[in-house]
Structures are given as C-alpha cells and as structure tokens.
A and B are shown apart, each in its own frame.
Chain A
Amino acid sequence: MPMEASEIESMIRDAMPDAQVAIEDLRGDGDHYAAHVLSPAFKGKSRVQQHQMVYQALQGKMGGELHALALQTGVPDDA
C-alpha cells in the first residue's frame, strides 16, 4: 500500500513539531518520494542519527509500505 505525501509529512511533523518538511513525489506514483527535513533538533547529530530520527518518526513504515524515500536532512541556518 503506497502512502500519501501528506501522511508522510504529518507523521514527521507529529514527531518533530519544529521541523520544516517538504515532500516531493518523484515519479508521481505515490511510491517514490523525496523528503527534505530541516530541524533544530538535528543540531550536533550525525547524518546517520538525523536520518534515524526521521525513520523513527515514520514508525516502521520506511522499508515497509514506504518503499522509497530519499532523505535529505539538515539544521536550519538560524538555529
């Protein structure tokens, strides 16, 4: 079952309320997404840890119903 972009976005926002989230449906098939997530919570975290935080927000959907989510994470400039 593919996921809606809005569902991905709200799951990330629920877990990380101060995050800026942008989701892109790469192929328009509801199955291959890219997510850009900026959050002050990423400060001081390695890239692996940042991605793990997003995966945690997705509660196991990544690698399951969410087949492909290209992730880009970072700390906002003003944080």
Chain B
Amino acid sequence: MSDNPVFDQIQQEIDSNSVVLFMKGSPMFPQCGFSAACVQILTQMEVKFKGIDVLSDPGVRDGIKDFTQWPTIPQLYVKGEFVGGCDIIREMYENGELKQVMDDKGAEYAS
C-alpha cells in the first residue's frame, strides 16, 4: 500500500489486466488523437487490452502522471510494466518491437 490511494487503484488495474491503456475517452470513442492512434495500433495487432478513461476519473488523470513519472496520456502498460506513450508505441509498432514485447510478456490476443 502506498500513501496515495490512487496509486493503489492504478497498481491494481495494471496487476489484474495484462495490457492496459490509460487514455482520454474510451476505446470505442477516443477523445484525443494520440489516444485514438494507440487504440488503433492495439486493435490492428488484435491484442486484448483494457482502456481506462482518465477523463472520467480526475484522480487517475493526475495520479497516472506521477505514478509513471510521465507527463502525458496515453500510457501503455503491459504486464505491469510501462512500455511508453504514443510516440514510443508508434515507433515500436512500426519496427516490430511492440509485437515482440507483447509476445515476450505473454499478452493475450483476440481469437
């Protein structure tokens, strides 16, 4: 347990879901171009992921930035580990590294 209850909430999400995208809006209705781009990449890869809308929870919206030490949203976690924000995700997707990470960490794919 940490001092910040939001950190516990975030930790629980990334512990209990193998791929988590903290984003603005929902995967169905992203409300920011960067979040939409990440959803599109994960969807194209057919990776199962949980999207967490930070706009609907101001505590998480601020908390996730401190939790990750990362100033922007979206943020992608795979098996509890921070992989990157939109630029990194895009770069890793394009050079095949993202698929490698998903496979190495045992992310689930939609069947």
Contact = CB atoms under 8 A, between A and B. Distances in A.
Contact of B88 (A47, A55, A63, A68): A47
B70 A47 contact: no
Contacts of B65: 63
Contacts of A64: 71
B9 interface: no
A64 B72 CA distance: 9
A51 B88 contact: yes
Which interface class (under 10, 10 to 19, 20 to 34, 35 or more) fits B?
Answer: 10 to 19
Contacts of A51: 70, 84-85, 87-88
A64 B84 CA distance: 19
Contacts of B111: none
Nearest to B33: A68
Given A48-B82, A63-B65, A55 B87 contact: no
Contacts of A28: none
18 contacts: A47-B88, A47-B91, A48-B84, A48-B88, A51-B70, A51-B84, A51-B85, A51-B87, A51-B88, A52-B70, A55-B70, A55-B71, A60-B71, A62-B71, A64-B71, A70-B87, A72-B87, A72-B91
Nearest to A70: B87
A62 B72 CA distance: 7
Interface string A41-79: 000000110011001000010111000101110000000
Residue in B70, B86, B87, B91 whose Cβ sees the most chain A Cβ within 10 Å: B87
Interface string B59-88: 000000100011110000000001111111
A19 B88 CA distance: 19
A52 B69 CA distance: 8
